[in-house]
Amino acid sequence: MTILAYDLGASSGRALLGRLNNGKIEVEELHRFPNDPVQVGDRLHWDILRLLHELKQALLQVKHRGIELESIAIDSWAVDFGLIGSNGELLGNPYHYRDHHADGVMEQVVEELSATEIFAKTGIQFLSFNTIYQLAAMKKADSPLLREAKHFLMIPDLLRYYLTGEMFNEFSNATTTQLYNPVAGSWDDELIRAIGISPELFGTVVQPGTKVGSLSASVCEELNIESVPVYAVAEHDTGSAVAAVPALDRSFAYLSCGTWSLMGTEVQEPVINELAQQLNFTNEGGAYGTYRLLKNIMGLWVLQECRRSWERAGITYTFPELVKLAGEAKPFAAFIDPDDPLFLHPGDMPARITEYCLRTGQPAPTETGAFVRCILESLALKYRFVLELTEQLSGQAFGGLHMVGGGIQNTLLCQWTANAIGKPVWAGPVEGSAIGNMIVQWIASGQIADIWEARKVIRDSFPVDVYEPQQPEEWENAYGSFKQKTGIA
């Protein structure tokens, strides 16, 4: 039997078929599509109906090929959401987390409610685009959408609703809102009311592995297909990616590498204390009662946005071409902190890197390869910094780093990460989020016993590339220079 995993990233989406064959996982890409945001005036939105259209195109391909599906599930990025009105229709296009509508709101909310109180209730790191601040921004703007809203659904919840007609909030994504209390195991009504929102908007929270409906009669009639069960998985794509880490040791560090980089470790209970708040770590829900003690790092977004800037100027590069140019550029010429607010929003990223370097007294890159090398070396060195914080906070010492996700196709970044941390990097699988999505479906249907059996199956099914650290003295010196130039400590 075959299952279908929809994996929606911040720049592209994919539909993949999964099969278990003699104890090994077979993955086939069925449909891939861009996920481009749409600028409307001053606002940046997700094109949610286009995404729904693409999900349906994948179902049509399944039908045309005569494939019988056993189940379906969706994972996506976090924090963003849609609001449903009393007639069951979506009220407005969901905002993109890189939109400016919530600028400055986090600082206002923290001043009104106190960071200590918010962190004690939620265990979630403070990021300006968290759901709590987006909702608070809408409330402060007296958004008519909030006045009419009856239901709050995050992106996978919303797409599931379109496919099944059923409304549920999934656990791993709910925790990223900074409105869910992991100790109480429910939405934090007091916190929700404190930002002026009705708790009645927020629905039942279900755990990964829960059946949350089947393809609706209207969808089946439209596409002329049979109904199929739909499961909630770890619907935050990082939650699915971590479920797919092929670790054999229960103490492990991971890096989910893509548009965002998310680094941390898996824990059984949220770590909510003064040090976690001080280091701005987060406790996001995972599969099967776990939590992801992690920190967000800006990731390959900076490089992706540079590439778009060059394309707008009429110069087109493939990512392999950019990596080749980086390898030929002078090492350690300039550093950025990828998490500087300067790099959050879309725009002329090479100009922003130049601005950052001039601001910090460094020679700015002038050639394409130098820009790319600056980004990749800075990412690798920031990974070391965050890995050290993860060890400090978790009280664990990790023998290496598991890297999963599309970013591991950048072999230069994998090698430089190993060099920076001075430990081996184990890279694989590439489609980590989709595979994590699949294994929760298989566990739910009883075909795999539990998450640890699943991780062994993943290890047996997909190659893991090992990168051993090189040039230890040069990278140690570079780390000191990186911290000094960027001011991180």
The tens digit of pLDDT for each residue in 324-381 reads 999 999 999 999 999 999 999 999 999 999 999 999 999 999 999 999 999 999 999 9
Establish if 240 belongs to a structural domain: no
Domain enclosing residue 128, as ranges: 2-231
Q: Count of CB atoms within 10 A of residue 145's CB?
A: 14
Establish if 311 belongs to a structural domain: yes
The tens digit of pLDDT for each residue in 150-189 reads 999 999 999 999 999 999 999 999 999 999 999 999 999 9
The tens digit of pLDDT for each residue in 193-209 reads 999 999 999 999 999 99
Find all residues with CB under 8 Å of 190, minimum gap 6, and list them: 121
For Cα atoms 260, 205, 164, give the angle at the middle one, nearest 5 degrees: 85
What's the domain count of the chain? 2
- Write down the catalytic residue from 7, 75, 157, 237: 237
Residue 59 belongs to domain with CATH number? 3.30.420.40
Interaxial angle between packed helices 432-444 and 451-461, expressed in degrees from 0 to 180 and rounded to the nearest 10:
130
The number of angstroms, rounded, from the C-alpha of 87 to the middle of its chain's C-alpha atoms is: 31
- Is there a catalytic annotation at residue 80? no
Main-chain phi, psi angles of 75, to 5 degrees: -130, 155
pLDDT, mean of residues 247-276: 96
Q: Which of 231, 262, 284 is the last residue of a domain?
A: 231
* Average pLDDT along the chain: 97
Give the pLDDT confidence score for residue 1 in this predicted structure: 85
Q: How confident is the model at residue 313 (pLDDT cuts 50, 70, 90)?
A: very high
Residue 489 has pLDDT above 90, yes or no: no
Q: How confident is the model at residue 89 (pLDDT cuts 50, 70, 90)?
A: very high
For Cα atoms 153, 93, 218, give the angle at the middle one, nearest 5 degrees: 65
Residue 471 has pLDDT above 90, yes or no: yes
Q: Same domain, yes or no, for 164 and 207?
A: yes
Q: How confident is the model at residue 281 (pLDDT cuts 50, 70, 90)?
A: very high
Establish if 470 belongs to a structural domain: yes
Q: Same domain, yes or no, for 201 and 314?
A: no
The tens digit of pLDDT for each residue in 95-130 reads 999 999 999 999 999 999 999 999 999 999 999 999
Q: How confident is the model at residue 404 (pLDDT cuts 50, 70, 90)?
A: very high
Under a CB-based contact definition with an 8 Å cutoff, are residues 465 and 424 in contact?
A: no
Residue 463 has pLDDT above 90, yes or no: yes
Establish if 441 belongs to a structural domain: no
The tens digit of pLDDT for each residue in 1-50 reads 899 999 999 989 999 999 999 999 999 999 999 999 999 999 999 999 99
The tens digit of pLDDT for each residue in 239-251 reads 999 999 999 899 9
The tens digit of pLDDT for each residue in 436-456 reads 999 999 999 999 999 999 999
Establish if 435 belongs to a structural domain: no
Q: Which of 201, 231, 261 is the last residue of a domain?
A: 231
Give the pLDDT confidence score for residue 290 in this predicted structure: 96
CB-neighbour burial class of residue 23 (10 A; exposed 0-12, middle 13-18, buried 19+) = exposed
Establish if 198 belongs to a structural domain: yes
